[in-house]
């Protein structure tokens, strides 16, 4: 294994196709609702099972027309991990969170425990989206507030037209003459003009 450098962010960014995975969300309160809203904003077709003894009415209302989300209203059980691919824990109980992390670890499942970086295999970053362009911002679990500020800056800076360019990029690339290096140079000039408007 390579050496770790504590002074830099060693996280590896990945964009998951949640519609091909089954996500378990443990918790039914405000934090669970926040995680659920983020998951569905980015992956509306995600398959999610929610397990919690109490489910907030706002959470129920949020998913009332979504057939890809199932609610099990009881305490977490180890069997809830069966046939799941990704685990998000949003409960206000450190011992329960640790136990879920331990059980999931035995099955080699990836876990995110809200507001507990030490128990996370992955973090949920701040997300900027302009059509097909998506940027995830990470501060290595150190400051969600700074990640949010960077997100706001990027949202304000990136033009809405960037999605139109992305949608037309294949046609633009096909029409460009020359070798690969020349195409890259021309595409760089084109995108530079767009981003400096």
Catalytic residue IDs? 115
Which of 55, 100, 54, 102 is CA-nearest to residue 80?
100
18 C-beta neighbours (distance < 10 Å), count? 20
Contact 33, 62 (CB under 8 A): yes
Residue 151, CA distances (Å) to 8, 124, 129, 145, 178 in order: 20, 13, 9, 10, 37
């Amino acid at each position: 294994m390579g050496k770790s450098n504590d002074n830099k962010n060693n996280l590896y960014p990945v964009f998951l196709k949640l519609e091909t995975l089954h996500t378990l969300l443990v918790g039914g309160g405000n934090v669970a609702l926040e995680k659920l809203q983020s998951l569905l904003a980015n992956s509306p077709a995600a398959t999610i099972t929610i397990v919690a003894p109490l489910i907030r009415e706002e959470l129920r209302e949020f998913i009332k027309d979504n057939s890809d989300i199932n609610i099990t209203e009881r305490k977490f059980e180890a069997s809830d991990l069966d046939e799941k691919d990704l685990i998000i824990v949003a409960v206000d109980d450190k011992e329960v969170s640790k136990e879920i992390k331990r059980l999931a670890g035995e099955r080699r499942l990836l876990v995110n425990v809200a507001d507990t970086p030490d128990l996370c295999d992955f973090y949920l970053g701040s997300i900027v989206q302009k059509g097909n362009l998506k940027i995830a911002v990470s501060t290595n679990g150190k400051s969600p507030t700074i990640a949010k500020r960077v997100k706001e800056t990027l949202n304000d800076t990136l033009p809405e037209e960037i999605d139109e360019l992305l949608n037309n990029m294949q046609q633009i690339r096909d029409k460009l003459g020359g070798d690969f290096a020349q195409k890259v140079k021309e595409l760089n000039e084109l995108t530079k003009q767009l981003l400096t408007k």
